[in-house]
Structure 1
Amino acid sequence: MGNMRINNLSVKETEGLIYTALEAGINVFDHADIYGGGSCEEHFSKALSGNESIREKIILQSKCGIRKGYYDFSKEHILSSVDGILQRLDTDYLDILLLHRPDPLMEPDEVAEAFDQLHHSGKVRYFGVSNHNPTQIELLQKSLTQKLVVNQMQLSIAHTPLIDSGVSLNMNTDNAVNRDSSTLEYCRLNDITLQAWSPFQTGFFDGVFVGDNERFPELNKVLERLAKKYDVTPTSIAVAWITRHPANIQVVLGTTNAARLQESAAGSEIPLTRQEWFELYAAAGNMVP
């Protein structure tokens, strides 16, 4: 469950959404220090106030490194960011801390010092990154004591750079352009869990493709047909397309609608066939050579 927009809900509504997620089998709750300027983390902790027993049943994940107009992976900023995150979430530790977007001025040894301090103090149990390519991960991992366990990337049926170049390798087409340095394959080789953000978006917040028959008529026809076959919703099928991939990708659901959260969670149980997976990929406008 992504928590980027939960500050648009009341505390009571947020509590209900969290319990809906738990009942649907969702136990990872994704945050970032910039979501709502930190208010989303505060909102989440208020929703769980008085329910301390839940803390050990969930995985709390947050991200840091984005500041207003620039990125900052300095030791000082990472440490102060985590202290702020813990205070806002009203918890003693984070299960996972992600570095939000690559910092071109990163000093890997400085990040390593911050991670060591956070790990030894018990403030953070595991570490990962978001929106990083393989070389950036390797550069950071060289200095770290801890193994990076997560890489959060944008992925949906209508936004497939992670998939495209591998399918269209060595072809003179736009899909063959390797835009992410084979990040998907790298993460699989190195046992790094991929998390898919914006699983229903067409691009960088360019709108949701589910139900958009003007821009994605063919894709929605297939989504609706498969939804009827599996007795779910098109949203469920959109999730199933991601979770069908053998990389065991985790889908980050940013919805604040409880029903849509349940629909999405149901999608992870649907065993799309290979033919159906490729049919959806092609219906989104991708070429299958």
Structure 2
Amino acid sequence: MRQPTDIHNDRVAIADGLSFSRLVYGMWRIGDDVDTTTSHVRAKIDACLAQGITTLDQADIYGDYTAEAVLGQAFKADPALRQKVELVTKCGIVAPAGRYAGVACKHYDTSKTHIEASVESSLRDLGTDYLDLLLIHRPDPLMDHEETGAALDGLVKAGKIRAAGVSNFRPWDVELLQSAMQSPLVTNQIEISLARVAPFSDGDLAFHQRRRDPVMAWSPLGGGSLMTGESALTRQMDALAKAFDVDRAAIAVAFLLRHPATILPVLGTNSLDRIAKISDGATVALSRSQWFQLYEAALGHEVP
């Protein structure tokens, strides 16, 4: 059985001179909170820092292109705070909202012009002069991998981003883009949880495990579906939660942390009480048998 993780000391190397906290705070809902004041945003960040969670996950599209500016208030109010965290953001989705309200339809844009303009907007809104990690948010059917790769390499070389990665890419998408880059693609942020266990068997995790890429897991609580309702899976989660004296969320996180691929769960909530419990999953050391009990419940049948 693995020992519980001390997230204050457990850091994950992402690139030369850059490491992330084992758990990541996802800020996709920060612009939707009833309270978006600087003091409330700062309280969320401080609640994360108190647990050793230093990595904050954003995207330009979150909050209809407003979430980065909401977070940026905290850095503009206290510039020293920027040195205590790592900022992740994404670009590449153009939706008819906010700054793109006039576009005809939602689409992807991974052109050099769009990527560079998006980074400049993110830097301005976040109140910083560099991003720790920039992700291409979705695979783009019209991506010119040489143009996209050159744009990312140029941003790394210019110091505007410390590293580049992708989100929701399949292995072949990663390989295509990487083939045109000098800088490594350091991570892929994918949907993976007890509500979506396909990456454990479809080759996605194996691909990144072979490359030794940390994988960022979005929606590790299944978009909240794992926290509600009753099923064979939630009953199994509740039994383990009782045994470890935690809640379902902690079991869902522990399931991901137990895997030998380095998975970084990205957890998002606007509740200060729930933020304070994000690290509970790191206190749970699931045995191999307990992990498989959860996995089989998620599959709906025993493994072959």
**Normalised by the size of structure 1, how large is the TM-score?**
0.88
Q: CA deviation at 1:256?
A: 1.3
Partners of 1:120 and 1:158 lie apart in 2 by 39
Distance 2:148 2:30 in 1: 30
- Counterpart of 2:43 in structure 1: which amino acid? G
Q: Return the offset for 1:123.
A: 0.4
Contact kept, 8 Å, 1:5 with 1:35, in 2: the verdict is yes
Q: Output aligned runs, 1:184-195, within 5 Å.
A: 184-195=205-216
45-54 vs 82-91, greater mean Cα deviation = 45-54
Q: Is the 8 A contact 1:233 1:263 kept in 2?
A: no
Equivalent position to 1:5, from 29, 37, 41: 29
SS at structure 2 position matched to 1:48: helix
Q: Distance in 2 between matches of 1:263 and 1:282?
A: 26
Q: Which residue of the partner structure matches residue 39 of structure 1?
A: 66
Which residue of the partner structure matches residue 94 of structure 2?
A: 67
CA contact (8 A) 1:65 1:100 kept: yes
2:190 touches 2:217 (CA, 8 Å); kept in 1?
yes
Q: Per-residue deviation at 1:223?
A: 1.5
Q: Which runs of 4+ in 1 moved over 3 A?
A: none
Q: Does 1:262 align with 2:276?
A: yes
1:77 matched residue in structure 2? 114
**Structure 1, unpaired ranges of 5+:** 167-177
- Residue 285 of structure 1 and its aligned partner are, at CA, apart by 3.9
Contact 1:235 1:263 in 2 (8 A): no
Answering whether residue 35 of structure 2 is matched by residue 21 of structure 1, we say: no
Q: Say which structure, 1 or 2, has more relative contact order (CA 8 Å, 6+ apart).
A: 2
Specify the alignment match of 2:6 in structure 1.
Answer: none
Q: Distance in 1 between matches of 2:293 and 2:153?
A: 46
Q: Does 1:114 align with 2:151?
A: yes
Between the aligned partners of 2:238 and 2:229, the Cα distance in structure 1 is 12
Which of 87, 106, 115 aligns to 2:124? It is: 87
Q: Tell me how far apart the structure 2 counterparts of residues 104 and 88 of structure 1 sit (CA, whole Å).
A: 28
CA contact (8 A) 1:66 1:101 kept: yes
Q: Is 2:51 the counterpart of 1:30? A: no
Per mean C-alpha deviation after superposition, the further-off stretch among 122-131 and 187-196 is 187-196
Aligned length: 266
Percent of residue pairs bearing the same amino acid type? 39
CA distance in 2, matches of 1:264, 1:279: 23
How far does residue 262 in structure 1 lie from its aligned partner after superposition? 2.8
Contact 1:153 1:196 in 2 (8 A): yes
For 1:250-277, what per-residue CA distance to the aligned partner results, in whole angstroms no more than 9, with x for missing partners?
Answer: 0011211222223232102311001111
Q: Hey, what does 1:212 align to over in structure 2?
A: 229
- Cα drift, residue 144 of structure 1: 0.3
Q: Equivalents in 2 of 1:233, 1:259: separation in Å? A: 13
Distance in 2, Cα, partners of 1:26 & 1:132: 25
CA contact (8 A) 2:254 2:285 kept: yes
Length-normalised TM-score, structure 2: 0.84
Deviation of 1:24 after TM superposition, in Å, equals 1.3
Contact 1:236–1:264 (CA under 8 A) maintained in structure 2 = yes
* Structural mapping, 1:49-60, within 5 Å: 49-60=76-87
* Counterpart residue number, 1:141: 178
Structure 1 residue 28 displacement after superposition: 0.9
CA displacement at 1:151 relative to structure 2: 0.2
Query: Residue 268 of structure 1 aligns to a residue in which SS?
Result: helix
The corresponding residue for 2:298 is: 284
Q: Deviations over 1:15-53 (max 9, x none)?
A: 111111111111110110100122111100113333222
Structure 1 SS opposite 2:76: coil
Q: Which one is further off, 153-162 or 12-21?
A: 12-21
